[in-house]
Amino acid sequence: MSKLEGKVAVVTGGNSGIGYASAQKLKQEGARVIITGRNAEKVSAAAAELDVKGLVADVSSVSAIDELVKQVQSEFGKVDVLFVNAGIFQPAPVGQVSEEMLDHQMGINFKGAVFTIEKFLPILNEGASIINLSSVNAYTGMPNTAVYAASKAALNSYTRTAATELAPRKIRVNAVNPGPVATPIFSKTGMPEEQLNGFAEAMQNRVPLKRFGEPADIANLVAFLASDDASFITGGEYNIDGGINVNPLLS
């Protein structure tokens, strides 16, 4: 039997990249999947391709998350897997961090994640799995990522406390920390193509396995953490990074 047969899974930011691949994998494993995103056209195109439910909800708006939860509840009832994946990457050097940029990035990557969990909690089944998409950046001093890294470090911290507090309901909460993964997130930064290519090459050279991750690599881990195979795993963090985190100095 498929590992997620009979389960309902919500993937925020499921119309692109890691979220898209994870929605595909969760569905392959038998789950009924709902993807969300900000852009109605992109969400409905992705939902049609994946043959899943697509709902529009900007996670930086608490009232939009409230509305999302209502819609999911009325159509699907309770939820078993909550993949808190929606996020943005806005690089900026220390000294050039604007208030607007900080609020925007923290508002999606941290506040958005927290309120996604807060608002879905009432409709999570006992034994549900929450998976928070963080980043190895939470532990690095990579230039230009101070605010992004802090948003992910905050999420990892929240994950640990939530795991303890939700354990009485047998709800497991874990974080996944990818290294560089080939998704559209980098092109959305507005960096010129030449700079992006240089960044990608330098990054790849530092990964011991000498490649970027593929969204499907992350999806496999997400599907494992979502399943009952991971029933004794909570409060954990999983680096999935081709080894970059253990080899910061030598390429």
Binding residues vs ligand NAD (CB under 6 A): 12-13, 15-19, 36-38, 58-60, 85-89, 108, 112, 133, 135, 178, 180-181, 183-185, 188
Q: How far is the CB of 195 from ligand NAD (least distance, A)?
A: 16
Nearer to ligand NAD, 125 or 240 (CB): 240
Sheet holding 124-133, edge to edge: 53-56, 32-37, 8-11, 79-84, 124-133, 172-178, 237-240
Nearer to ligand NAD, 28 or 156 (CB): 156
Residue 3 CA to residue 226 CA, distance in Å, equals 9
The reply to whether 148 belongs to the active site is: yes
Nearer to ligand NAD, 70 or 188 (CB): 188
Instruction: With residue 130 as reference, give the H or E element that holds it.
Output: strand 124-133
Q: How far is the CB of 229 from ligand NAD (least distance, A)?
A: 23
The total number of residues shown for the chain amounts to: 251
Q: How far is the CB of 179 from ligand NAD (least distance, A)?
A: 7
**What is the DSSP secondary-structure string of 19-76?**
HHHHHHHHHHTT-EEEEEES-HHHHHHHHHHHTSEEEE--TT-HHHHHHHHHHHHHHH
Catalytic residue among 20, 139, 148, 238: 148
Nearer to ligand NAD, 104 or 125 (CB): 104
Catalytic residues, by residue number, are 148
